[in-house]
Amino acid sequence: MIHAVDWFPTLVKALGINYTGTSQDGVNQWEAIISGGKSKRSEFVYNMDYDPLPVQGAVAIRVGDYKMIEGFPGAYQERYEIGAKDQGFAGTYTAELVFEWVAQSPYNDTLAAQLLFNLKDDPYEENNLYDELPEVVRRLQDRLKEYRKGYVSPNFPADSQLSNPENYGGSWTPGWCERDEI
């Protein structure tokens, strides 16, 4: 089991760099990779966003073989076929899309998906065990409560023209370090 945040500490170790940063979500997986051994990880959070809008209000965690999703699971819920050119939803999330999903979903009584999968036995996530395994759901929810103690709400700043390429000869810039206002 490896997570995207594990790449930094893993590559730092592989390169022999002595990194002493204090805040690190990632786990050094170098020994597991070179030895083909067991991962140092037994769980990770896929997403944690407690925004009340369904398009952003989703939390997902994996502990051992179990993956739990609570909230809006995304607009595209089909499997990708090998070699398929269409890799799912290519547009942007809109309120209409979210409300259409909620209206058509089996979860519309709670406005949120409640999904639990055993990834070892069900790698395609076809068999929802949420109602069948309440003790596993409770255990994963308890883990999420621990993670939530360090939760920081997402920052969705207002749109700004400060980084517009038209202001900088066609080049994208962060804007905030170039000009105070347009």
Secondary structure (3-state) at 68: strand
Whether residue 151 is predicted with pLDDT greater than 90 in this model: the reply is: no
Q: Any idea what DSSP says for residue 175? A: S
Instruction: Tell me the C-alpha distance between 110 and 128, whole Å.
Output: 16
Q: Which two tokens stand for residue 111?
A: 């406005």
Whether residue 128 is predicted with pLDDT greater than 80 in this model: the reply is: yes
pLDDT in tens, 101-121: 556 655 444 456 788 999 999
Q: Which residue has the higher pLDDT, 178 or 68?
A: 68
pLDDT in tens, 16-51: 998 877 677 889 999 999 999 999 999 999 888 877
Q: What is the pLDDT of residue 176?
A: 52
Structural domains present in the chain: 1-41 (no CATH), 42-75+91-150 (3.30.1120.10)
Q: Which amino acid is at 110?
A: T
The sign of the CA dihedral 77, 55, 160, 178 is negative
> Which of 150, 148, 179, 154 is closest to 164 using CA atoms?
179
pLDDT in tens, 135-149: 999 999 999 999 999
Reported as a pLDDT band with limits 50, 70 and 90, residue 161 is confident
Instruction: Tell me the C-alpha distance between 88 and 73, whole Å.
Output: 13
Q: What is the pLDDT of residue 125?
A: 87
Reported as a pLDDT band with limits 50, 70 and 90, residue 99 is low
Q: What is the pLDDT of residue 106?
A: 53
Non-local (6+) Cβ contacts of 90 within 8 A are none
Prediction pTM value: 0.69
Name beta bridge partners: 45: 61
